[in-house]
Structure 1
Amino acid sequence: MEDTTNSTSDNDYYDYSTENYSVASPAEDVPVPLGYCREAACIIMVIFNVIIFLLGIIGNGAVIWITGFKMKKSVNTTWYLSLALSDFIFCATLPFTIDYMLKKSWIFGLFMCKFNSFVMTLNMYSSIFILVIISVDRCITVKFPVWAQNQRTVLKASVVVLLVWFVSSLLSIPPAKFRETTNIGSKDICYNNYEKNHHTIVVFMRFTFGFLIPFLTIFICYSILIRKHRATQMSKFTKPFKIMTLLITTFFICWLPFQVVSILELNRTERSSAFHTAQQVSGSLACANSFLNPFIYAFMAKNLKKKCYSFLSKTIESTFDEET
């Protein structure tokens, strides 16, 4: 008989609020999920996700509207439009997560269980890949300005973005494939049904393609940019460099704990309360990344008064229009 391991605690970042129960088989006597969300930690997580949903939809929606419909198309706006779309789609799926947190029962069926996982993993990959593209693009622009001026076109940037979304979609299929639904007592749950070493493969793919390779690529780009900056003896870094730095730093701060906890989980057979708390915190940070980017754009705007009106057209336009 095939050895099958089913687990709800892979630390997928929409599961961190649920109880860590395992489902070995439908007939096995397993813990029944508690009722509605009543614990303080659960309530805090629900409130936090509601905030992420509201700010993420409003902020990323504003960026999509401005970069997609109000500003002149450019390579820069193409990158940031894609990044905002990724975060917006993620935030749009959060109501399913919030409902799951509140009721501790998945009422949306198998397709949405898989689709929710797919969209959320897609957000992680597409976001980091776009940040890598922004870093490489900035590096090429600084290192080879004449070539970049002749070769950087909106059409080519759009093709790159489509390729990024295609690759991100392919990498998001495995986590979604292993999502299943089952009934425990009176509750339906959406969980990870890994077989043999599939759990290790998924975590390895996520760490390698969603963190390690992007980190090394960005590190190389930054090394080149800083060396170029020192060679030209510039007094201060440009606005695009500062925006890029903040976006990338925010991504790694938000996602590094999640990646570490995911790896640590592979060697754990028992779940302690401390480890469950680590899952909750790392999951919360991962979610938070999806609403922070628009605030970075506003923060980098020139006029503080405009920032206070959050995402007025001229504020964000002045951020994206800076090419030097």
Structure 2
Amino acid sequence: MNMNSTANGSETRVFDPKNIAFIVIALLIVVFNGFVIYIVKNRKTPRSIGSSENSILTSLAASDFSSGAIGIPLTFACTYAPPNYCPMCSISYYFIKFVSISTVLHILALIRERSLTVAHPLRQRSKKANIILIAGIWLCSLFMSSVPWIWIVGVHGVCSNKRFEETWNPYTVHESVCFLLFFVIPLLFISIFLGRIAIAVHHFTKRSCSMRSFKSVNEQARFRNNEVRIFFLLLGVFLLFVVCWTPYFVLTLLSIHDVHIDVPDWLEFAVQFSRCVTSFLNPFIYAFYREDIYQVIKRKLRRLDFSSSVSREDTSVFRRQKATQVTLELVSN
């Protein structure tokens, strides 16, 4: 499946068995991210309701959810639709662009929020500020991914094969700007914020003495271990995004600048599939990032396990009763 289709049209293809992997991961993305959103929205811990980090995590989960619920189905629609449905390919392509911008901005906001929290533990962003931040991320992602429609519709028409002849045209400028503003620069700032968090965690003892009083040494150790754990989780989010999205951005730049390279089918499949992996793995990171979310998930799973155990026990009792009844009937006969 060509997950990087452009607005030039689409050819009807025979279903490729490899695409089953995209169907499976789309379902998993929807289930896991939907579960995280449900857990966060139904928590009854007032202490966490106004948390800036939880708000960003929930928003990122919604963005990942849209990747599985909308992005991958749109790509299938582009790949297997008749040629006269070429607008679907443009929608699919720029929805992927929307997800890429949204993901990196959410990660940037989350790591920046953690760096501020480490420096100022008592700081708490207001609910209104959280709404403005998250709305800004979504609006910026939507705007930048929608800009190309100005010339797609106004200049070429959605089903036209006509292209700009100039090397630097609206397509190349837009892709280059997106690569710089929503990949290179954010990754630079994320690296800086992670460095600040690492330094703060390293100097935890000096910092904690002046900022927080602990009841015991064990409480201080738990607090430090929690900060170390969160740092490595954020580092993992950062590295996961770099590894999974860099090939996508590189291939996009090469294609938009008409750099022709022979990409094997297996490599194209790996590049496009890896882009979906972030949306699949992020929910597991949320579960371990926030202790309150992790505890809620543990309680939910225990209830499910308890319910299944009770069901198995009821079934076992029923079978024993049935066997006893049959035995008594045979003896009486």
The TM-score with structure 2 as length reference comes to 0.68
- 2:103 maps to what in 1? 127
- 1:238 maps to what in 2? 228
| Alignment of 1:16 onto 2:6 | no
Query: Which one scores higher on RCO, CA 8 angstroms, separation ≥ 6?
Result: 1
Distance, in Å, in 1 between the alignment partners of 2:240 and 2:77 is 27
Could you tell me which of 7, 21, 24 is aligned with 1:48? 21
Structure 2 stretches lacking a partner, 5+ long: 206-220, 302-333
Structure holding more strand per residue: 1
Instruction: Name the aligned partner's letter for residue 297 of structure 1.
Output: Y
Tell me, yes or no, if the aligned pair for 1:56 and 1:91 is still in contact at 8 Å: yes
Residues 1:255 and 1:136: Cα distance change in structure 2 (over 3 Å): same
- 1:116 maps to what in 2? 92
- 2:192 maps to what in 1? 220
- 2:305 maps to what in 1? none
Tell me, yes or no, if the aligned pair for 2:86 and 2:158 is still in contact at 8 Å: yes
The TM-score with structure 1 as length reference comes to 0.70
Give the stretch that moved more between structures: 174-183 or 202-211.
174-183
Could you tell me which of 113, 126, 137 is aligned with 1:137? 113
Tell me, yes or no, if the aligned pair for 1:258 and 1:279 is still in contact at 8 Å: no
Tell me, yes or no, if the aligned pair for 1:75 and 1:157 is still in contact at 8 Å: yes
Tell me, yes or no, if the aligned pair for 1:50 and 1:98 is still in contact at 8 Å: no
Question: Matched residue of 1:70: which SS?
Answer: coil
Instruction: Name the aligned partner's letter for residue 199 of structure 1.
Output: Y
| Alignment of 1:96 onto 2:53 | no
The structural deviation recorded for 1:51 is 1.5
Could you tell me which of 265, 281, 287 is aligned with 2:255? 265
Tell me, yes or no, if the aligned pair for 1:258 and 1:282 is still in contact at 8 Å: yes
Residues 1:117 and 1:176: Cα distance change in structure 2 (over 3 Å): farther
Distance, in Å, in 2 between the alignment partners of 1:241 and 1:270 is 40
Distance, in Å, in 2 between the alignment partners of 1:182 and 1:247 is 38
Structure holding more helix per residue: 2
| Alignment of 1:86 onto 2:63 | yes
Structure 1 stretches lacking a partner, 5+ long: 1-13, 24-31, 184-190, 316-324
Distance, in Å, in 2 between the alignment partners of 1:284 and 1:83 is 19
- 2:329 maps to what in 1? none
The structural deviation recorded for 1:116 is 3.2
Q: Deviations over 1:32-52 (max 9, x none)?
A: 946423xxxx421x1121012
The structural deviation recorded for 1:91 is 1.2
Superposition RMSD on alpha carbons, in Å?
3.5
Instruction: Name the aligned partner's letter for residue 283 of structure 1.
Output: Q
The structural deviation recorded for 1:270 is 3.6
- Count the aligned residue pairs: 270
Residues 1:256 and 1:100: Cα distance change in structure 2 (over 3 Å): same
